[in-house]
């Protein structure tokens, strides 16, 4: 007897399996289809482009040049110091300058965005307490400790700004944190700078 109840059941079961497999395949394909744009979006935001353009887009002029600074003076610089930024180092052409208007010509020689913060700080420039993200917690320093900042700017570009620096000990540092991790400060982007 070909059409025994057992065979009929197994055929029905087979047909059911094929149908289920078909559904699984189409679900998987649909899944892939929706995953692709998601992962593409993830990559885009992962590079931090969106965050950075909004944080540096405070003025059109700054957005155009890619350079924006705080704490600057309009006085003519008496001294010019070249500063090289890289992953993860800060190297000024000189570590000591006379007090007065000091122009910092800062080259981002790295592959990612960096910034330059000028803070009054004695001793080891790496000894500033860290915040939860591993960046230097500048709020734990004196209120007036931060004297100037060249906001984050892109690789292969140079920004310049002049700061009126009083005699004292300073730290130059980059306080960027990429996407909530990889704090540049903790990676070594800090150095001493003395104004006499």
Give contact residues for Cu ion (rule: CB under 5 A): 114, 174, 176, 184, 189
Of residues 126, 168, 131, 165, the one with CA closest to residue 147: 165
Q: Which residues pair with 157 in a beta bridge?
A: 108
Contact status, residue 147 vs residue 171, Cβ threshold 8 Å: no
- Choose between 99 and 155: whose C-beta lies nearer to Cu ion: 155
- Choose between 26 and 156: whose C-beta lies nearer to Cu ion: 156
Tell me the closest approach of the beta carbon of residue 60 to Cu ion, in angstroms. 25
Contact status, residue 85 vs residue 116, Cβ threshold 8 Å: yes
- Choose between 114 and 190: whose C-beta lies nearer to Cu ion: 114
Tell me the closest approach of the beta carbon of residue 32 to Cu ion, in angstroms. 37
DSSP three-state, residue 153 = strand
Tell me the closest approach of the beta carbon of residue 150 to Cu ion, in angstroms. 11
- Choose between 150 and 176: whose C-beta lies nearer to Cu ion: 176
Tell me the closest approach of the beta carbon of residue 175 to Cu ion, in angstroms. 8
Tell me the closest approach of the beta carbon of residue 16 to Cu ion, in angstroms. 59
Tell me the closest approach of the beta carbon of residue 166 to Cu ion, in angstroms. 26
- Choose between 77 and 183: whose C-beta lies nearer to Cu ion: 183
Contact status, residue 194 vs residue 96, Cβ threshold 8 Å: yes
- Choose between 121 and 184: whose C-beta lies nearer to Cu ion: 184
Of residues 182, 116, 169, the one with CA closest to residue 141: 169
Cα separation values, 144 from 58, 121, 130, 173, Å: 23, 11, 18, 16
Q: In sequence order, what DSSP letters do the residues of 94-133 get, joined into one string?
A: -SEE-SEEEEEEEEE-SSS-EEEEEEE--S-TT-SPB-TT
Centroid of chain to Cα 47: 8
């Amino acid at each position: 007897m070909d059409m025994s109840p057992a065979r009929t059941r197994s055929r029905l079961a087979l047909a059911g399996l094929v149908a289920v497999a078909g559904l699984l395949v189409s679900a998987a394909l649909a899944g892939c289809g929706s995953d692709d744009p998601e992962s593409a979006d993830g990559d885009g935001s992962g590079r931090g482009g969106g965050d950075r353009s909004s944080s540096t887009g405070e003025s059109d002029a700054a957005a155009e040049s890619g350079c924006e600074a705080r704490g600057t003076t309009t006085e003519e610089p008496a001294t010019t110091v070249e500063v090289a930024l890289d992953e993860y180092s800060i190297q000024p052409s000189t570590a000591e300058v006379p007090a007065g208007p000091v122009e910092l010509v800062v080259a981002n020689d790295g592959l990612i965005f960096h910034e330059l913060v000028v803070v009054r700080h004695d001793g080891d420039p790496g000894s500033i307490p860290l915040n939860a993200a591993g960046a230097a917690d500048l709020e734990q320093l004196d209120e007036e400790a931060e004297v100037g900042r060249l906001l984050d700017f892109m690789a292969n570009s140079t920004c310049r700004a002049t700061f009126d620096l009083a005699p004292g000990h300073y730290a130059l540092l980059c306080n960027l944190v990429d996407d909530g991790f990889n704090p540049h400060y903790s990676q070594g982007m800090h150095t001493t700078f003395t104004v006499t």
